[in-house]
Structure 1
Amino acid sequence: MSRTARTTRLAALSTVAALGLTACGGGASGDDGDVTLRFTWWGADTRHELTQEVIDAFEEEHPDITIEGEFGSWDGYWDQLATQTAANEAPDIIQMDEQYIREYADRGALLDLDGVDVSQVDESVVENGRIDGELYGATIGINSFIMVANPELFEEAGVEMPDDTTWTWDEYADLAVELSENLDGAWGAGAPREPSGFTMWLRQHGAHLSGEDGGLGFEPADAEGYFQFYLDLMEAGGTPPAEAISEDQNIGKEQSLSGSGELALGTWWSNEAVALAGAAGVEMELLRFPSPTGEAEDATPWYKSSQFLSASAGTDHPEEAQEFIDFFANSAEAGEILKAERGIPPNSEVRSMVSEDMEGMQRATADYIDEIASEIGESEPVTAAGGSEFGAILYRYQDEVFFGRQTPAEAAEAMHAEMVAQLE
């Protein structure tokens, strides 16, 4: 998504803050006691079709509840939701993203989902949607930040695939340089996708992007080390030059260097591997991140909620809204329809059932999620209110470092100060 689009969405959220987020109910009741609920989500056509199938299945079981779908693209979604919420016209059920959940929860716009069953969901995943002890988002898909490896490029370079349970960051850097030196028209590794790459680095060094208190969870020195590592890697030839890195930050998965088969190692969310493999025409391998020690547990992977379902605090029908959310997140019917479209099902029983029918990269993704279960670290603190711009800020300061306009220390200090100001 473009940096301009991020700025536009931030302005919309500022409007919400100015007007206040107290909402009246978005649903309606008929004279005969029937209930109508509005449900909004973003996504492509495939998601719309599958979501409607889930709605149809729910309505068949609950003939007294009608779900009216409202959907569109990511770029327009947050502007519209902010406007609706500020005007007290929020939908009853909201597909929510981790970047925004604290924004809405802190302003009293979301319902505590105490009626949604989370007994079959890993506690670290449940925590992703919990703020100050209350559940404001029910996870409907999980993924993990990973290295996506192109085996054809490894073979072309004559380089063996690494042991991802033992490799360190120094070994990763050496491998990236070796791959680049032996490839024609491709590179060993790319710059990380943000803010996830920086989040992973911080976790491994005892810090976080956002703190539990809603502020920043790192110091400038943490960012300086991060910038220095990738600058050194670029200057050694392990990644593309600054111009290519900057261009790769602003295009979709299919058009990216990984998607076009020009990157041996790329950093992505696990649920993105299916699209990358399809675009590149290669069955990708999914690898753990390297760690400072070479121990798999010290790579500190975590399960991220790819999306949540939330309910408006002002809904006239909180029980029915939660009933639908519970069906969407926990029912076998919904799992069979959605499979991994929104990420791997968080409900362990549904995930086990659904993964049996998966093939190719979808099955590889499900297997990877299960494989790292014993290595999962603590859940990542919810993004601070105002932190939805952190990715754009990180990309901008990466450019400053990679293009030689600032040193890693200068960029780290300036970025930290800007992020603090962003939260204020």
Structure 2
Amino acid sequence: MPERHNFFRRASVVIAMATAVAVAVSGCGASSGGESAEGPSTIGLTWWGNAVRDENTRALADAFTELDPDITVETTNSDWGGYWDKLATQVAAGNAPDVIQMDDKYIREYGGRGALLELSDAGIDTSMFVPGSVDPGETAEGLMGISAGIIAPAIVINPAFFEAAGVAIPDDSTWTWDDFTALAAELTEKSPEGTFGTALPIINELSINVWLRQHGKEAFSEDGLGFDADDLAGWFEFNLDLQEAGAAPGADKAAEDMGKPIDQTAFALGQVGMNWIWSNQLNAYDAAMGGGLQLLRYPSLDGTAADAQLWYKASMLWSISARSKDPQAAAELINFLVNTPDAAQIQTTERGIPANTDLRESIQDKLTDSDEVHVAYLDAIESELGAPVVLPPVGAGNFPLVLQRYSEDVLFGRTTPDQAATAMIDELEANIAAAG
């Protein structure tokens, strides 16, 4: 049998790590990861995503197997909604795939219930990761996931929209929220009827996180919510103020935009000049609009970029099931995915910008114009980043859906910001308590 590559080999460490992990998952008894196989091994890899991700992930699995023919990778994929239902069933039954594409909304839930291996001693090298890009996988239980790529909150703008209105693109290192509102209102005033300066950020979980952080709060604490009803009501009121100023569309148009595919959104159709996104969504918007878009920092309260409280988010994470029969092979696969030029050449930026800075250089010749704008934006904000966000506790993974529901009630005047804020917090706290 060919010896596994020294780049990956950490067998004794991984065996000790796996054996020490006790699994306490609803529907199954205590268990631990199996010992590393020294002969041929088969591991499972699962992910959610679109057709492009499906194709390149299978190509990644094939490339890994070529490096180590003793390891066979069985691949499964699903759409976002079906993925989590299926994974919950597999974990409860004790047959989850070895390598799991994980999201930060659920990593505390799965890690806290013993369903994931702690990875700090797994031999997965993060020494070349950009500062701040390991933190998204850290929980109270330890390192439960490795960043597959990094992204950040951003405002995407359409320079052609600004040019047509005769409005200058702002200095995003000094603008405030008041500046933003005034600019968006000016864009509306100087643009054709039915078009607006900005989309509403009201249902956008990344935007409310930025807003809360700039006000000294977080969306979540270690055991619950990190904000109160007054904070949330202030967020709702800011969005109503945008509408009142004429800076953003009314309730009907805003609600219509919710949940649409990127190429059908008001921004993609040229009906608004600015939108609130995760930075990796630039590629899809550029593809829909023919390129040329720009990324700006979020405004801050005092006009200081360092006070914008942005952060690097893992576009997604790679985790290992606590019941993996070969945690060594699973760790080898993750190491391959996040640390090798071979993998980077296949994946490029599909899962965000590589956290490993060497890999960014290795794919420089494959970066699209959109990728280059994305990389430049992440580099520009690196020295200004705030502390890592607190990850959602168990029971709070549905926060975005709850936020959307109450946001629609506020926009359509079915409830006041204060009433919606109180009811939403009560619902979220009940969800967290029920799951505890």
TM-score, with structure 1 as normaliser: 0.92
User: Aligned AA for 1:76?
Assistant: G
CA distance 1:20–1:258, shift in 2 (3 Å): farther
Asked if the contact 2:36/2:327 (under 8 Å) is kept, the reply is no
Contact kept, 8 Å, 1:22 with 1:88, in 2: the verdict is no
Whole-Å separation in 1 of the counterparts to 2:162 and 2:131? 37
Task: Tell whether the 8 Å contact from 2:116 to 2:319 is kept in structure 1 after alignment.
Answer: yes
What does residue 73 of structure 2 align with? 67
- Report if the CA contact (8 A) 2:98-2:324 is conserved: yes
Amino acid at match of 1:374: S
1:150 touches 1:285 (CA, 8 Å); kept in 2?
yes
* AA in 2 matched with 1:151: P
Q: Partner residue of 2:158?
A: 150
Written as runs of structure 1 = structure 2, the 5 A alignment for 1:103-182 is: 103-113=109-119, 114-115=121-122, 116-132=124-140, 134-182=142-190
Distance 2:31 2:103 in 1: 19
* Partners of 1:94 and 1:311 within 8 A in 2: yes
* Pair 1:101–1:20, CA change in 2 (3 A): farther
Matched, 1:196 2:206: yes
- Aligned pair 1:287/2:296, yes or no? yes
Whether 1:36 and 2:42 are equivalent positions in the alignment is: yes
2:55 aligned partner: 49
C-alpha distance in structure 2 between counterparts of 1:181 and 1:53, whole Å: 50
The whole-number CA distance in structure 2 between the counterparts of 1:421 and 1:17 is: 21
Equivalent residue letter for 1:47: R
Unaligned runs of 5+ in 1: 1-15
Answering whether residue 95 of structure 2 is matched by residue 89 of structure 1, we say yes
Could you tell me which of 203, 206, 210 is aligned with 2:220?
210
SS of 2:200's partner is coil
Which of 245, 266, 271 in structure 2 is aligned with 1:262?
271
SS at match of 2:262: coil
Work out the percentage of aligned pairs sharing the same amino acid: 41
Maintained 8 Å contact 1:21/1:86: no
How far, CA to CA, are the matches of 2:190 and 2:154 in structure 1?
Answer: 24
TM-fit CA distance, 1:20 = 4.9
Deviations 1:354-377, CA, capped at 9 Å, x for gaps: 234312111111111111111111
Q: What is the RMSD of the two structures over their aligned residues, measured on CA atoms?
A: 1.9
The secondary structure found in structure 1 opposite 2:263 is coil
Q: Secondary structure at the match of 2:383?
A: helix
Match of 1:76 in 2: 82
Q: Which residue of 2 aligns with 1:317?
A: 326
Please report how far the alpha carbon of residue 106 of structure 1 lies from its aligned counterpart in structure 2 after TM superposition: 1.0
Q: CA deviation at 1:24?
A: 7.4
CA apart distance, 1:208: 0.5
Q: How many residues align?
A: 406
Unaligned runs of 5+ in 2: 1-23
Q: Secondary structure at the match of 1:94?
A: strand
Q: Which residue of 1 aligns with 2:352?
A: 343
Supply the distance in 2 between the matched residues of 1:106 and 1:355 (Cα, whole angstroms): 38
Q: Out of 329, 332, 342, which is 2:338 matched to?
A: 329
Farther off after superposition, 340-349 or 66-75: 66-75
1:22 and 1:86 in contact (8 A); partners too: no
Residues 24, 316 of structure 1: 8 Å contact kept: no
Counterpart CA distance in 1 for 2:152 and 2:162 is 23
Q: Distance in 2 between matches of 1:263 and 1:22?
A: 53
- Give 1:38 shift: 0.7
- Residue in 2 aligned with 1:250? 259
Letter in 1 for 2:211: W
Q: Quick check: 2:28–2:93 contact (8 Å CA) kept in 1? A: no
Describe the SS at the equivalent of 2:398.
helix
Match of 1:277 in 2: 286
1:191 CA displacement:
1.2
| Match of residue 314 from structure 2 | 305
The equivalent residue for 1:404 is 413
Q: Alpha-carbon deviation of 1:22?
A: 5.4
Q: Does the aligned pair in 1 maintain the 2:112–2:141 contact within 8 Å?
A: no
- d(CA) in 2 for partners of 1:21 and 1:406? 46
Contact kept? 2:133, 2:314, Cα under 8 Å: yes
TM-score normalised by L of structure 2: 0.89
In 1: Cα distance, 2:173 partner to 2:223 partner: 33
Q: 1:155 to 1:109 in 2, by over 3 A?
A: same
Which residue type is aligned with residue 61 of structure 1?
L
Give the Cα separation in 2 of the matches to 1:281 and 1:57.
Answer: 32
Matched to 1:305, the amino acid is: A
2: CA distance between counterparts of 1:195 and 1:202?
11
The 1:33–1:282 alpha-carbon spacing in structure 2 relative to 1, beyond 3 Å, is: closer
Distance 1:118 1:223, change over 3 A: same
**Secondary structure, aligned partner of 1:54:** helix
- Displacement of 1:75: 2.3
Equivalent-residue separation in structure 2 for 1:77 and 1:44 (angstroms): 12
Shift of 1:224: 1.4
Instruction: Give the C-alpha shift of residue 59 in structure 1.
Output: 1.2
SS in 2 for 1:111: coil
